[in-house]
A = this chain, B = another copy of it.
Amino acid sequence: MPDEVTGLFGGVFNRGGVATGDMAWLQALLDAEAGLARALERAGLAPTGSGEAVTKAAVAADFSATEVAEVAQACELTGNPVPGLARVLTRRVPPFAASAVHKGATSQDIMDTAAMLLARQAIDATRRDLARAAASAARLAAGHRGTLMIGRTLLQQAVPVTFGLVAAGWLAGLDSALQGLNTIRAERLTVQLGGAAGTLASLAPSGPLVVPLLAAELGLATPPLPWHTERLRVIDVAVAMARVTAALGKIARDVTLLAQTEVGEASEGAGDNSKRLPSGGAPRRGGSSAMPNKNNPVASVAILGCSRQVPGLLATLVASAEQELQRAAGAWHAEWQPFSDILRLGGSAAAWGAELLDGLGIDPSRMAANLAATGGLPLAERVTGLLAESLGVAMAHDLVASAAAKAVSSGLPLRDVLLASAEAERAGITAEQVDAALDPAGYLGASDEFIDAALAVHERQAGK
């Protein structure tokens, strides 16, 4: 369970304001305990005023270093920090309220509920940044629907696309990831309260009343029954975050490729050279320690640095679902750190993503130059389609392949090689037909419709 990660590497891996460090956990645990005390009071199981008294005492920032250390030390003895926390908290409340502290709960109730509180905070921060990123992607999709570029498959030039269509594809991923967060936020964040073995026996007969009261106090949902060893909620939160980093990782990968020196179609931080230290000095964003000429795609690299940590963490959480009987011996404990990490990395990636798409520079002239660089080869498919009408698909494919090979080896334009071929002559293909076929703007297919469809989904989802 990392501390706030605000230190050396936090600028990369702890952006976006998702707090999962020690103090965030401590406060979340205290919030769960305080919510429980208030719920108990409302259910008539704790003295009047005890809920408020516990709540007042349950402020992590008020804890002395000694108190925090006592909680931590207890963690070593009991395997989790809650027993120590309950003891310290009990000491901090007035005597009349002591019986309201941790009453009916087991450690896992407090840990699991706190985890859901942390998840909510992380999900909300991530939703905010993802919405910003999606808005930028929508803007790029709409604004660049006419910006021609070469499509690349297996990193080879293929056929023309528009940058608007590329951005529409990004947008679709972002919107889907955002929708996933919305669903989890609304449906899967519940309190956990089951007591020692999930029966709430020590609160009988009022246990079933306390659970929804606790949920109401904390703004979480009420589960049908305790889920201490039914861990699909944990998986669902983690998956929602993994979908975020998956969608962003694809975008970041694309940007690093488009920003390559030899490609030069995109660049980070357009119009924003002000990303410098407050002192005004170097290093600037994207600067290299050894190469002053570099303009590194730092945001994209940071997103990939986040997104690539997530699959392994998700695997740990999925594997941890195999929890024994009424409390797991290890599998539950193995959740805490990867759960925190995945929240933090998802939030960081989203924050970087919002910034990346906000400041993404697009260079239509480099796009046009790259598209033209291979003398018509990317339009070979279109020519194939033309010839296929008379020659059939397979023969047309072979003919154009051989013409393309000849164009490559001879350095002649595809146009000339094709028109000189016996097959083209036999099929009656004219120069006008070939020239039309080789105009990329005429070979964009349904790009506009697809952009419109992605934008329509986005607007519907954004409630516009």
Contacts and interface: CB of A to CB of B under 8 A. Distances in A.
Nearest to A296: B154
Interface stretch (A51-59, A213-221, A231-239): A231-239
A305 interface: yes
Nearest to A108: B153
Contact of A316 (B263, B278, B309, B444): B309
Interface string A294-314: 111110111111111111111
A315 B311 contact: yes
A140 to B, nearest CB: 15
Interface stretch (A119-127, A128-136, A249-257, A419-427): A249-257
Contact of A199 (B161, B196, B207): B161
A387 to B, nearest CB: 10
Interface in A415-443: 443
A270 interface: no
Interface string A258-280: 11111100000000000111100
B388 A197 contact: no
A184 interface: no
Contact of A293 (B84, B155, B380): B380
A240 to B, nearest CB: 10
Contacts of A397: 282, 289, 292
A109 to B, nearest CB: 9
A446 B239 contact: no
A156 B7 contact: no
Contacts of A1: 2, 5, 7-10, 13
A50 interface: no
Interface string A89-119: 0100000001101110111000000000000
Given A3-B2, A262-B263, A276-B77, A246 B102 contact: no
A339 B329 CA distance: 25
Contacts of A78: 283, 285-289, 296, 298
Given A232-B247, A312-B312, A168 B289 contact: no
Contact of A73 (B11, B165, B322, B388): B11
Contacts of A13: 1, 337
A87 interface: yes
Given A77-B275, A155-B324, A225 B172 contact: yes
A163 to B, nearest CB: 11
Contact of A103 (B22, B378, B393, B444): B393
B325 A155 contact: yes
Q: Most chain-B Cβ atoms within 10 A of its Cβ — which of A160, A314, A318? A: A318
A454 interface: yes
Contacts of A359: none
Contacts of A186: none
A207 B445 contact: yes
A16 interface: no
A106 B199 contact: no
A321 B22 CA distance: 31
A284 to B, nearest CB: 6
Contacts of A79: 12, 154, 296, 298, 301-302, 305
Nearest to A169: B230
A461 to B, nearest CB: 11
A182 interface: no
Contacts of A196: 151, 153, 158-159, 288, 290-291, 381
11 contacts: A9-B336, A12-B75, A78-B289, A153-B296, A203-B446, A205-B445, A229-B250, A292-B380, A293-B401, A311-B312, A314-B314
